[in-house]
Structure 1
Amino acid sequence: MNTQQIEQLSNELYTALRQGVAVPPLTDRHPELDIDAAYAISLAMLEKRLADGERLIGKKIGVTSEAVQNMLNVRQPDFGFLTEAMQCEGSLSLAGMIAPRAEGEIAFCLRSDLKGPGVTEADVLAATEYVMPCFEIVDSRIADWKIKIQDTVADNASCGSFVVNEEDKVDPRNLDLPSCKMKVFKNGALLSEGSGAAALGNPLTCVAWLANTLGKYDISLSAGDIILSGSLVPLEDVRPGDTMSLEISGIGTVAINFE
């Protein structure tokens, strides 16, 4: 895929983001699209957001659990970028979003840089300042969530918004992250349950994968970054008026209202 095509598709996805209108799957129209080109599209889309005044504050890995892989029919993780405009506190307007879904995660805040190749789970633990409970609200600019891995990587890993509870921040050295239990509630009723092991066996493994994958593109996870480590439960459609909350054993709680 040439530079002109990459710029054209990044413009298309950026317009879809700003206008809240989905586009047909990129892979249907461009079967030659590979992961490297998809990453280039994502990075070009990010540059447009930064030019609008947004600020890069972290990265994310997605499609880490079997439940989410089965829902999306995508069989490997994806990766994307977080800006401060994506972070919300307590409530989120769904106006302008296309097909939002919420997922519960463990978020990391780094105290030192991580850059692949060769990053291990021990390296991630040493580089982490604390972990927090998190909801990510994913939203695909690809129509009807008909995505292949290249579509979601190009679309910034289908990221929409996220919320963390920085009051409940915990040193991960005091936790057995794979054994941490998550309960998710929707409108007051128990919706789903999961554990840290649902995300590639260990959230530390997820962050190491992200550091090593982005390292191939000369991108590092940076000190101060918020890193979303992947959902521990199935995705859940959300609509205005819904309220969701979650609790993670040993870490804490977070809640969000949708407007």
Structure 2
Amino acid sequence: MGERRVAFADRREQMGYTQESFGRAVGVEFSTVGRWERGELTPQPYRRPRIAQVLKVSLAELEVLLSRSRPAPSLELTTSPRYAPSLVRTGQWNGRLVRAGVTGQSPTGRKEPMDASTLQEAAAALLSAYETGKPIAPLIETYPAATLEDAYRVQQRLVRHWAERGDGVRGHKVGLASAAMQRQMGVDQPDYGHLTASMFHLEHQPIPIGGFLQPKIEPEIAFVLGSRLRGPGVTVADALRAVDFVVPALEIVDSRIRDWKISIVDTIADNASSGGVVLGSRPTAIGDIDLRLVGCVLHQNGEIAATGAGGAVLGSPVNALVWLANTVGPLGVALEPGHVVLPGSMTRAIPVNPGDTVVATMAGLGSVTAKFSGEERP
């Protein structure tokens, strides 16, 4: 069990935060054994934000803790605490220490990587959602100790599964490319996913919406590479030289997580919420246009649904390409000639329905159209 000291706001809070009040807060019934720091119990539960602050966890982690601690088990608290197997976290306040009982916690208090069987279990759950069309509960609820590294390992298992069945990688996508989305997810950098051959759809040909679970659509400036790009150490100049041309694109984002209730771990594990891609047919040399200044209007069934510009994507879509190359390079992955890279959306994502026609028009780049039918995937 890892140990870490907690920081109380003042002596009053320290004294009030006894085992009983802590137990009531997280749904644990304590039976006291041994000597207490105080001779009496002072139940004084605090608001959840303060509990999270004292425990040094996020509100999301606290919610998981609370949900998994009910119904309340009983626990004898001694100088050598015995932890009930069903507990996610418990605490010993006599020594003003919190002993972390989180699944996957190391003796240093840090999360340990998920083992191979657990990673495969998570990947199998996502693959089942792909195949049955039935979304699953958030992975972060099932695996509360999962890290970003774990999530990418799950994603790699999905990609390997598809490749073994002939659906190879044809590119990559960058997600969470806007500051607003990063704040929403509580991260300070983008994420990435893989684009496989089956994800590409032809412009103007009906796309069976039954092949998705809960699709949305986003306009992006797609890079088509002319030469290999591998980090680390890739610069903007390197990226510009590697790009053959750009085309307008529509990315279909989709989630195998029920109701899009995703955390950063969920979206990464779920291949960065990838669904599909439609590329425009008008290539433009990257040296002929400033991608930061490319404006975009997204129409859905003839009505303006959203507007945006290239500068919304990490300041410039090229920055997203550089970030991607330098992120996957140390993992032994290169961005290959002919591969497509989607750098991130210029607007918010728009939900799509059977019969919808979506058109993205980009200044200087032309337009791209996606049409959705009510048919199931063949």
Question: What band does the TM-score fall into relative to the shorter chain?
Answer: over 0.9
Task: Answer yes or no: is 1:51 the counterpart of 2:164.
Answer: yes
Task: Answer yes or no: is 1:164 the counterpart of 2:279.
Answer: yes
* Aligned counterpart, 2:352: 238
* Aligned counterpart, 2:34: none
Residue type of the partner of 1:190? Answer: I
* Aligned counterpart, 2:191: 78
* Count of aligned pairs between the two proteins: 257
Residue type of the partner of 1:247? Answer: T
SS at match of 1:216: helix
Task: Answer yes or no: is 1:196 the counterpart of 2:346.
Answer: no
SS at match of 1:162: strand
* Aligned counterpart, 1:180: 294
TM-score (norm 2): 0.66
Unaligned runs of 5+ in 2: 1-113, 374-378
Unaligned runs of 5+ in 1: none
* Aligned counterpart, 1:11: 124
How much has 1:12 moved relative to structure 2? 1.1
Residue type of the partner of 1:232? Answer: M
- In the aligned structure 2, how far is the partner of 1:74 from the partner of 1:238? 27
* Aligned counterpart, 2:332: 218
- Matching residue within 200, 212, 217 for 1:97: 212
- In the aligned structure 1, how far is the partner of 2:230 from the partner of 2:262? 28
RCO (CA 8 Å, sep 6+): is it higher in 1 or 2? 1
How much has 1:243 moved relative to structure 2? 0.6
**Aligned in 2, Cα 1:67/1:189: closer, same or farther, shift over 3 Å?**
farther
> Which of 89-98 and 229-238 deviates more?
89-98
Q: Is the 8 A contact 1:101 1:139 kept in 2?
A: yes
Q: Deviations over 1:4-63 (max 9, x none)?
A: 111111111111111111111111221221111111110111111112221211111012
Ranges of 4+ aligned residues in structure 1 off by more than 6 Å: none
- Matching residue within 212, 229, 238 for 1:114: 229
Residue type of the partner of 2:292? Answer: P
* Aligned counterpart, 2:146: 33
More strand by percentage: 1
How much has 1:74 moved relative to structure 2? 5.4
**Aligned in 2, Cα 1:194/1:168: closer, same or farther, shift over 3 Å?**
same
Q: Deviations over 1:181-221 (max 9, x none)?
A: 11110101111111100001000000111111112322111
Residue type of the partner of 1:225? Answer: H
Q: Deviations over 1:57-87 (max 9, x none)?
A: 11110121245456x6454422111111000
Q: Deviations over 1:129-187 (max 9, x none)?
A: 0000000000001111111111111100000111001x211001111110111111010
Q: RMSD over aligned Cα, in angstroms?
A: 1.4
Q: Is the 8 A contact 1:65 1:233 kept in 2?
A: no
* Aligned counterpart, 2:43: none
> Which of 171-180 and 57-66 deviates more?
57-66
* Aligned counterpart, 1:247: 361
- Matching residue within 176, 180, 194 for 1:63: 176
TM-score (norm 1): 0.95
How much has 1:250 moved relative to structure 2? 1.1
Residue type of the partner of 2:238? Answer: D
- Matching residue within 316, 337, 341 for 1:227: 341
**Aligned in 2, Cα 1:193/1:67: closer, same or farther, shift over 3 Å?**
farther
Q: Is the 8 A contact 1:68 1:234 kept in 2?
A: no
Q: Is the 8 A contact 1:74 1:147 kept in 2?
A: no
Q: Is the 8 A contact 2:185 2:264 kept in 1?
A: no
- In the aligned structure 2, how far is the partner of 1:83 from the partner of 1:186? 26
Task: Answer yes or no: is 1:135 the counterpart of 2:254.
Answer: no
Residue type of the partner of 2:342? Answer: L
Task: Answer yes or no: is 1:24 the counterpart of 2:166.
Answer: no
